[in-house]
Amino acid sequence: MPKLQGFEFWSRTLRGARHVVAPMVDQSELAWRLLSRRHGAQLCYTPMLHAQVFVRDANYRKENLYCEVCPEDRPLIVQFCANDPEVFVQAALLAQDYCDAIDLNLGCPQMIAKRGHYGAFLQDEWDLLQRMILLAHEKLSVPVTCKIRVFPEIDKTVRYAQMLEKAGCQLLTVHGRTKEQKGPLSGAASWEHIKAVRKAVAIPVFANGNIQCLQDVERCLRDTGVQGVMSAEGNLHNPALFEGRSPAVWELAEEYLDIVREHPCPLSYVRAHLFKLWHHTLQVYQQLREELAKVKTLEGIAAVSQELKLRCQEEISRQEGAKPTGDLPFHWICQPYIRPGPREGSKEKAGARSKRALEEEECGTEVLSKNKQKKQLRNPHKTFDPSLKPKYAKCDQCGNPKGNRCVFSLCRGCCKKRASKETADCPGHGLLFKTKLEKSLAWKEAQPELQEPQPAAPGTPGGFSEVMGSALA
CA distance 218 to 229: 9
Three-state secondary structure call for residue 145: strand
Q: Give Cα 228 to chain centroid, integer Å.
A: 25
Compute, in degrees rounded to 10, the torsion defined by CA atoms 240, 33, 143, 19: 0
Q: Which bin fits 285, alpha (ψ -120 to 50), beta or left (φ > 0)?
A: beta
Compute, in degrees rounded to 10, the torsion defined by CA atoms 256, 259, 265, 266: 40
Is the torsion defined by CA of 150, 156, 159, 164 positive or negative?
negative
Say if CB 415 and CB 408 are below 8 A apart: yes
Nearest to 423 by CA among 412, 411, 435, 414: 435
Catalytic residue among 108, 265, 312, 426: 108
CA distance 467 to 473: 10
Structure letter (DSSP) for residue 13: I
CA distance 209 to 458: 95
CA distance 341 to 187: 7
β-strand partners of 172: 146, 205
What contacts 275, CB < 8 A, 6 or more positions away?
282, 292
Active site residue 108: yes
Provide φ and ψ at 193, rounded to 5°: -60, -45
Structure letter (DSSP) for residue 345: T
Three-state secondary structure call for residue 269: helix
Q: Give Cα 334 to chain centroid, integer Å.
A: 25
What contacts 183, CB < 8 A, 6 or more positions away?
339, 355, 358
Query: For residue 93, with 0-12 CB atoms within 10 Å meaning exposed, 13-18 middle and 19 or more buried, which class applies?
Result: middle
SS (H, E, C) 90-122: HHHHHHHHHCCEEEEEECCCCHHHHHHCCHHHH
Please identify every residue annotated as catalytic.
108
